[in-house]
């Protein structure tokens, strides 16, 4: 079970969204797990992840207390993957995010071969996860489905906003902020690349997918032309 299960969108919308997690179980295999979790993240680097996450400290782009309003125009927007690896200092959930299935498949193969003794799950469409397992010759242990939103859905944000805000399973990317970024991109006040870096910093566990977010923002901008 993972909070990324509730990312909004149909199966096709996850064609560029693959999240691979590693986690230990408290009291079972958490002793000496920190080096293994770091190794898991290090192993992801050759496969060009778009984000790495440590559920205690965040992702490859993080907020800072030492900035001012002018920082938006000169702030470093390059993800720091090594900082995520080096900063993982306690048993937690480690995640690697990819924007293509081939990379996710190859990474899962590598993780299987390493046999780190950690629980691993894949969050994407059912078909995408099945394919990753098949390519790595893994028999799927279980599957989780999200049934979507029920009730009076008329007051929900629009599809673009939902797809962006639900990419942080902890709800740290607010729908109001996501809507603001969509509007700013449509108005030409920010590029999709800039807006994505703003959104990514708020995801507290680092599973926000900047590639998928950029695509969503670009599609929203095209529809306004």
Residues 6+ apart with CB under 8 A from 94: 21, 22, 23, 37, 38, 40, 41, 52, 53, 54, 55, 88
- Note the pLDDT tens digit of each residue in 115-169: 999 999 999 999 999 999 999 999 888 888 888 888 888 889 999 999 999 999 8
Q: How far is CA 221 from CA 17, 112, 117, 154, 177, in A?
A: 20, 40, 45, 23, 17
Mean pLDDT of 40-66: 93
> Rounded mean pLDDT of 97-115?
96
Instruction: Say what the pLDDT of residue 4 is.
Output: 87
CA distance 59 to 80: 8
CB neighbour list of residue 160: distance below 8 Å, 6 or more residues apart: 178, 182, 216, 217, 219, 220
pTM for this predicted structure? 0.93
Quick: pLDDT tens for 164-188.
999 998 889 999 999 999 999 999 9
CB burial of residue 202 (10 Å; 0-12, 13-18, 19+): buried
Residue 1's pLDDT band (cuts 50, 70, 90): low
Whether the pLDDT of residue 87 is over 90: the answer is yes
**Is residue 225 over pLDDT 70?**
no
Contact in structure between 213 and 167 (CB atoms under 8 Å) = yes
């Amino acid at each position: 079970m993972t909070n990324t299960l509730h990312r909004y969108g149909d199966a096709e919308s996850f064609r560029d969204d693959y999240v691979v997690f590693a986690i230990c179980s408290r009291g079972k295999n958490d002793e000496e797990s920190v080096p293994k979790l770091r190794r898991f993240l290090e192993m992801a680097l050759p496969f060009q992840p778009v984000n790495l996450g440590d559920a205690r400290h965040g992702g490859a782009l993080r907020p800072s207390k030492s900035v001012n309003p002018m920082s938006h125009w000169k702030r470093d927007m390059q993800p720091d993957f090594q900082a995520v690896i080096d900063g993982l200092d306690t048993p937690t959930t480690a995640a690697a995010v990819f924007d293509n299935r081939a990379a996710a498949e190859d990474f899962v193969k590598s993780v299987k071969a390493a046999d780190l003794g950690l629980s691993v799950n894949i969050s994407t469409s059912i078909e995408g996860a099945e394919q990753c397992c098949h390519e790595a010759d893994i028999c799927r242990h279980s599957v989780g489905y999200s049934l979507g939103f029920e009730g009076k859905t008329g007051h929900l944000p629009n599809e673009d906003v939902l797809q962006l805000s639900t990419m942080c399973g902890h709800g740290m990317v607010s729908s109001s902020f996501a809507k603001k970024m969509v509007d700013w991109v449509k108005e030409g006040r920010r590029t999709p690349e800039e807006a994505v870096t703003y959104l990514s910093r708020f995801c507290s566990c680092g599973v926000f997918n900047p590639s998928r977010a950029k695509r969503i923002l670009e599609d929203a901008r095209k529809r306004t032309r």
